[in-house]
Amino acid sequence: MEVLTKYLNLRTKGELDMIDITESVAKAISETSIRNGIVTIFVPGSTGALTTIEYEPGLLKDFPEMLERIAPKNINYEHEKTWHDHNGHSHVRASLIGPSLTIPFKDKRLTLGTWQQVVFIELDIHSRTREIVLQIIGE
């Protein structure tokens, strides 16, 4: 059994950019000698999130529209009163989706479905650089 830490460095294009990181995660696993285990993908930061989705242009609009229904951009947020950075909705959305995703792999392959991709979602209101942590555990 072994634990290995890898990092993915991303440059997001701005609010609601959804980046397909499936191949990068698969590559990180392939570069280790671990055959079977889990990878915990984690976002350090409180305005980004991770999930899986069928990565096609329609859903890249539909998912953000759902976020706009549950945490609209143009309502008042108490967060704004302290920080004046206009991203109260970003924080609320990120905390609901969550910063962590754990995926099994077997014989070096992630157990994803064919139409299921791993995505990082930029929820902050501008382009950012992000360093995602991959903690790979297995044997």
Residue 44 binds to a second copy (criterion: CB under 8 A): yes
* Paired tokens of 114: 């064919």
Residue 70 binds to a second copy (criterion: CB under 8 A): yes
Residue 78 binds to a second copy (criterion: CB under 8 A): yes
| Among residues 15, 19, 91, 120, the one that binds a second copy under rule CB under 8 A | 91
Residue 86 binds to a second copy (criterion: CB under 8 A): no
Q: What is the DSSP string of 80-133?
A: HHHH-SS-HHHHHHHHHH-SEEEEEEETTEE---TT-EEEEEE-SSS--EEEEE
State the Cα–Cα distance between residues 38 and 1, nearest whole angstrom: 11
Residue 42 binds to a second copy (criterion: CB under 8 A): yes
Residue 128 binds to a second copy (criterion: CB under 8 A): no
**Closest distance to a second copy from the beta carbon of 13 (Å):** 18
Q: Which helix (H) or strand (E) holds 133?
A: strand 129-138
Residue 137 binds to a second copy (criterion: CB under 8 A): yes
Going by C-alpha positions, the residue among 106, 74, 104 that lies closest to residue 89 is 74
| Among residues 22, 26, 32, 51, the one that binds a second copy under rule CB under 8 A | 51
97 three-state secondary structure: helix
Q: Which residue has the tokens 């976020």?
A: 67
Q: Interface mask (CB under 8 A) for a second copy, residues 92-111, using x and -?
A: x-xxxxxxxxxxx-x----x
Residue 46 binds to a second copy (criterion: CB under 8 A): yes
